[in-house]
Amino acid sequence: MTKHNLTEVITIDYINHNTTLRTNKHLNLEERFYVEKRIAAGDSVTAIATVLGCSRTTIYTELKCGSVVQIRQGKARLVYLADSGQLTYEQQHLGSLNTMKLGFIEFFILWVEEKVCKEHWFFDAGVGYAKRQCLFARNEMVFTKTLYNYLHQGLLGIKAIDLPLVTRRSLRKSVSSKYKRELGKSIELRDATIETREEFGHWEIDTVRGAKDKTDDVLISLIERKSRLYIALRCPSARSHDVKETLETWLSTFRNNVELGLLCKTITADNGLEFADISDLEDEISSIYFARPYSAWERGSNERHNGLLRYFIPKGKPIESISEHTLRRTLHWCNNLPRKILHYKTPQEVFLEEVNKIVDLNTVQFHIAI
């Protein structure tokens, strides 16, 4: 249909009031030329929207995106051009994923469902990983939000209960106490550059408890801040000397090698009594700091991953009853889950890349409980 014929047909429809409002339809180039002509002629946005069968918001948005500055008679003016509107539209939709027809994206949907059910992945991890690895063509995939829409519409073979637990953050009132316990160097003395997570080798530490039983084992959880690698060490109790000995054993696995010693430059703990003795483990390479009391956000990554650990090891379940197989399987899941913040690489991938910068992994063997 030519530009002239389109104008003629639309004008007739407008005169006879035969237009109907359309939905989920984008303006095409011919319709943009019509908008350009009618705006130049002084027609109102309402009249143009009625003729094209779309909302006034569509026309206002089109005018905003397709207008350019022109100098006329020495004055700058905003003028709508159809070519500019079309170019802006194409740039905005460049590389966009398919959001129509489930049948066309069936293989992608089945792949995501398998990752959710068998490997407990989040939707975002699946979409990001598939894009990074180029597992599907761009028009054979949908965005994360679309997957959630399909889920709520009952179009997927899984239900909301099949998804991994979503961490819910609650805002708490700040708590202060005049009896603030400080076990060692404050986090305020820690180099501010560590906050950027650009340097490798800085860890956060915490304990994870099961049953409320002083005789039960505890897990000492550590996370490397840059790579988000997460490990959990079994400890016979929450007593400070047991925690110190367990942490010392872990550090000794790579401290004997000068280069590997750079894997742990700092450790940041909270002010729990179980960490009362770990300052004794400081050396010329590693420093140990303590977060401010009632400031869990200063070790936010550690707290977040402890929540992921609880997905497999719920509160109240004795740590002593957790098999090594279950613990290793849980850590494997945490460290092999693609992360958006890591550009959909896994923590283990990023960690090994960083280690390889320090020492050739082909010549050195070490065990770091991953």
More confident residue, 264 or 15: 264
Q: With b meaning 16 or more CB within 10 Å and e meaning fewer, what string describes 152-186?
A: eeeebebeeeebbeeeeeeeeeeeeeeeeeebbbe
| CA–CA distance, 19 with 51 (Å, rounded to integer) | 6
- Quick check: 254 and 223 in contact, CB under 8 A? no
- Res 10: pLDDT: 41
Neighbouring CB atoms inside 10 A of 128's CB total 19
Q: Which helix (H) or strand (E) holds 203?
A: strand 202-209
- Res 13: pLDDT: 44
The token duo for 161 is 């209960």
What percent of the chain shows pLDDT beyond 70?
81
Q: Would you give the end-to-end CA distance of the chain in angstroms?
A: 64
The token duo for 213 is 């039983």
- Res 221: pLDDT: 94
pLDDT 10s digits, 187-199: 889 998 999 999 9
Task: Please report, for residues 229, 230, 361, the alpha-carbon distance to residue 351 in angstroms, rounded to integers and kept in the order given.
Answer: 6, 10, 12
- Quick check: 152 and 104 in contact, CB under 8 A? no
- Res 263: pLDDT: 86
- Res 161: pLDDT: 83
More confident residue, 228 or 297: 228
Backbone conformation region of residue 201, classed left if phi is above 0, alpha if psi is from -120 to 50, else beta: left
Give the confidence band of 154 by pLDDT, cuts at 50, 70, 90. confident
User: HEC states along 331-358?
Assistant: HHHHHCCCEHHHCCECHHHHHHHHHHHH
Sheet with 287-290, strands from edge to edge, namely 230-235, 218-224, 202-209, 266-269, 287-290
Average pLDDT over residues 202-231: 92
- Res 232: pLDDT: 93
Q: With b meaning 16 or more CB within 10 Å and e meaning fewer, what string describes 65-77?
A: bbbeeeeeeeeee
- Give CB contacts under 8 A, 24+ apart, made by 182-185: 182/271, 182/290, 182/293, 183/269, 183/271, 183/275, 183/276, 183/279, 183/290, 184/278, 184/279, 184/288, 184/289, 184/290, 185/279, 185/287, 185/288, 185/289, 185/290
- Quick check: 84 and 66 in contact, CB under 8 A? yes
pLDDT at 5 over 50: no
| CA–CA distance, 109 with 101 (Å, rounded to integer) | 11
Give the confidence band of 229 by pLDDT, cuts at 50, 70, 90. very high
Q: Is the pTM of this model over 0.75?
A: no
Give the confidence band of 33 by pLDDT, cuts at 50, 70, 90. very high
Residues 6+ apart with CB under 8 A from 27: 35, 52, 54, 58, 62, 85, 89
Average pLDDT over residues 95-112: 72
Task: Please report, for residues 4, 126, 164, the alpha-carbon distance to residue 268 in angstroms, rounded to integers and kept in the order given.
Answer: 72, 32, 28
Which stretch of 6-15, 115-124, 237-246, 360-369 has the lowest confidence by average pLDDT?
A: 6-15
